[in-house]
Structure 1
Amino acid sequence: MKQNQKKAWLFLAPTIFFVTIFSVWPILRAFTMSFQKGSLINLEWTGFDNYQYIFSDPEFWRAISNTLIYTIIAVPVSLAISIMLAWFIFSKVKHSSFFETTFFMPYVTSTIAIGIVFRYIFNGDYGLLNYILRLFHLPAPNWIDDPSMSLTTIIIFGIWSSLAFDIVILMGALRNIDPNYYTLADMYGASEKEKFWRITIPQLVPTLAFLLTMNLIGAFKIYTSVYALFNGQAGIGNSATTAVFYIYNKFQMVGTPGVAMAATVVLFLIILLATFLQRKMMKKIGRY
């Protein structure tokens, strides 16, 4: 109704104001700073020099490569494990609310605190993980101090830490599936496997699209896990550096905000492209 438009804009005004100040303006400011050099209080226009620098910087490409590898492996593996665990708890476990609370605890716990605990678990000499591996006479690598294992360590930690949120959301989605679907499937003698693939998964497509989007964005922005696991560093010889860690290093440690903002813009475009492609893919899947 036209007579209510003024009131609607009045109620929306505070939200629009804060979104503009804390979301839109920082994006525009970062884009502007990517074409400038100098300190924060003395920036001057430099054109595309910052972009030329990052595109010729091997450290930047290593950060992007590590981030892409982490995203490609951690996101689908974590989502697949979450689906299996959520389905098992939903269909087989009676007191599922207890397990939901247990699984959700890591999500509300500080990543730094969890990272410190995992730093001891991954310790090559006395860590719990290597102790278990040695019991089964399996290789026990140095997860923290071996550059070749740094990315693997981050991926394992990332998969574990993302299970909490995914499982809770999937449990809520499973409860919203009409039980009549399963009743009819039982009447026609459908197996558990058929019910899972023909009823459960199609009904979960919207939820899976949401989780995939959130996990993709989170994976591209990974930073806290690296900081916690490697005690404020990016692994031995920067072997575990990621895109956000590169941005932090250039902005905070090196003191080149223009270079950091150029890398930020590139990362923003990568996330935008990945999210767009993922949404298109999920829409096509949802049609079948």
Structure 2
Amino acid sequence: MFKKYNPENQPKAWLFLLPSLAVILVFNIYSLFRSFNLSFQKGTLLNHSFAGTENYTRVLKDPVFHKALKNTAIYAFSTVPIGLILSLVIAWIIFEKVKFKNFFETIFFMPYVTSTIAIGIVFRYFFNENYGIINYFLSFFGMKPINWLNSVDMSIPTLIIFGIWSSLAFNIIILLAGLRNIDEEHYKIAKLFGADDWEIFTRITFPQLIPTLTFLLTVNLISAFKVYTQVFALFNGQAGVANSATTAVYYIYDKFHIANRPGIAMAATVILFGIILIVTFLQNKLLEKVND
């Protein structure tokens, strides 16, 4: 009797997976447990001792951490929905109205493979109060120059604008792939019965894109809660004026590298990990009810 072939039970398959599993084990799983263990230690990275829950108490009582979480939440719940809506509109226009789709896909994908630091330097010139191109265009509408980068009140709005633009490239490419997977027969039948563009979009395109949008919503929300590079690039290594653009990950970076308090940094990391886990779980439950 010959056994049926089952790729999951082949020893050779595990042999080929070993390099990837080793990398995941060392840089993901071990790092996670190491961070959790370090969150209960005080002192420096090389010379530390057990401190119990002292680090967690300090982090939870720190007003700077509360501000960082607030800024992160504002950024995430503003950037993600606005970015997804804009991405969906642009992807739909490219898919339906533009002839040279491949050319525009390449243009929109270029920011995704470009260094965020390099893009941040360019955006610093765009947002400059005196000679920035954004204030130049606003002047045509009679508006006074806005201090985008050196104002406490404008730090988060500026970061949100930069974050929305940064998220467009990845979202548009994934949405275009989702649009291509929709059977064209649906559109032909709908047009045969006289459906207009809005009816086709709301009754065929959007329902078919719900799995893609669910994936993008989850990925974007997790990325938004981990925002750091955009802050570092846009405000030239700082967190805005008077730390007005401090985010949760920037707070962790500051405690670990600047203040040399790895225990506090890791405690903040564990708390942020728990928040992301809870938000993602609630989001998935909400999306399941919407889909039903």
**Would the alpha carbon gap of residues 2 and 116 (structure 1) be closer, same or farther in structure 2, given more than 3 Å must change?**
closer
- How far apart, in 2, do the equivalents of 1:104 and 1:284 lie? 33
- Match of residue 218, structure 1, among 209, 220, 223: 223
Which runs of 5 or more structure 2 residues have no equivalent in the other structure? none
What does the per-residue CA deviation read over 1:184-241, in whole Å, with 9 as the maximum and x for residues that have no partner? 1111111111110111111111111111111111101111111111110001100000
1:75 corresponds to which residue?
A: 80
1:64 corresponds to which residue?
A: 69
Residue pairs, 1:257-272, within 5 angstroms: 257-272=262-277
Is 2:228 the partner of 1:248? no
**Which deviates more from structure 2 when the two are superposed, residues 3-12 or residues 86-95?**
3-12
Amino acid at match of 2:139: R
Paired residues of 1:143 and 1:149 also in contact (CA < 8 A): yes
- Match of residue 98, structure 1, among 95, 103, 113: 103
Paired residues of 1:166 and 1:211 also in contact (CA < 8 A): yes
- How far apart, in 2, do the equivalents of 1:204 and 1:88 lie? 15
Is 2:189 the partner of 1:184? yes
Paired residues of 1:205 and 1:282 also in contact (CA < 8 A): no
RMSD (Å), alpha carbons: 1.3
Secondary structure at 2:52 match in 1? coil
Residues paired across the two proteins, number: 287
- How far apart, in 2, do the equivalents of 1:117 and 1:5 lie? 51
Paired residues of 2:94 and 2:101 also in contact (CA < 8 A): yes
2:158 corresponds to which residue?
A: 153
Residue pairs, 1:72-151, within 5 angstroms: 72-151=77-156
Paired residues of 1:39 and 1:256 also in contact (CA < 8 A): yes
Q: Equivalent pairs: percent with the same residue?
A: 56
- How far apart, in 2, do the equivalents of 1:134 and 1:266 lie? 44
**Which deviates more from structure 2 when the two are superposed, residues 222-231 or residues 133-142?**
133-142
- How far apart, in 1, do the equivalents of 2:30 and 2:238 lie? 30
Paired residues of 1:247 and 1:261 also in contact (CA < 8 A): yes
Amino acid at match of 2:111: P
2:290 corresponds to which residue?
A: 285
- How far apart, in 1, do the equivalents of 2:260 and 2:181 lie? 51
Paired residues of 1:142 and 1:149 also in contact (CA < 8 A): yes
In the superposition, the TM-score normalised over structure 2's length comes to: 0.95
Paired residues of 1:151 and 1:239 also in contact (CA < 8 A): yes
- How far apart, in 1, do the equivalents of 2:100 and 2:248 lie? 41
1:35 corresponds to which residue?
A: 40
Amino acid at match of 1:119: R
1:273 corresponds to which residue?
A: 278
Tell me by how many angstroms 1:8 deviates.
3.5
Secondary structure at 2:42 match in 1? strand
- How far apart, in 2, do the equivalents of 1:43 and 1:15 lie? 32
Tell me by how many angstroms 1:2 deviates.
7.5
- How far apart, in 1, do the equivalents of 2:191 and 2:291 lie? 24
Paired residues of 2:39 and 2:267 also in contact (CA < 8 A): yes
Secondary structure at 1:44 match in 2? strand
Paired residues of 1:202 and 1:286 also in contact (CA < 8 A): no
Paired residues of 2:130 and 2:145 also in contact (CA < 8 A): no
